Amino acid sequence: MAVIISDTGPLLAFAGINQLTILQQLFKTVWIPQAVWLESQVHSDSAAQHIAAALQQGWLQVVTVPTPQDFPVSLGDGEQEAMQLAISNPSALLIMDDRLARREALHRNLSFVGTVKVLWIAEQRHLISDAAVLLDAMAANGYYLSRQLLQQISE
């Protein structure tokens, strides 16, 4: 089974609507690099608490990453470390939404999916009843993703 690595944005998006369990149900174990952990804990809100609880439960794991090399400065520490961790684990699947980070992942031939695809898979596996409802909840929480993308995936 592939190693699943999450960037900060998707992790916060799921935690922000109290749906981290979707990641656990789909992937069993999710790795995050130290920078993603630190970025997820910047605000002491419920999302940060949900992420800390997932870490305590053991299915979310902070993994040490070699120092990222040769990444564009436009990428954040979490994105760089997530990609560096994926480079160190060739079977890895990244969960990331940032357009520039996804472009860099493509350039480096890394496998990735976005939050919308994860929601669609969860709906297909009957873990959730309506991915669009959760996309709307994420948007209401400040994390905007394309409903149009969900429609394209569904077709």
The answer to whether 86 and 60 are in contact (CB under 8 A) is no
Can you tell me which residue has the tokens 């804990």? 41
Strand runs (DSSP E) across 12-120, as ranges? 30-33, 60-63, 93-95, 111-113
CATH says 4-115 is which class?
A: alpha beta
For the record, the structure tokens of 96 come out as: 């990331």
Question: What whole-number distance in Å separates Cα of residue 107 and Cα of residue 94?
Answer: 14
Domain ranges of the chain: 4-115
Tens-digit pLDDT profile for residues 84-107: 999 999 899 999 999 999 999 999
Tens-digit pLDDT profile for residues 11-70: 999 999 999 999 999 999 999 999 999 999 998 899 999 999 999 999 999 999 988 888
Task: Tell which phi-psi region holds residue 42, choosing left (phi > 0), alpha (psi between -120 and 50) or beta.
Answer: alpha
The answer to whether 145 and 114 are in contact (CB under 8 A) is yes
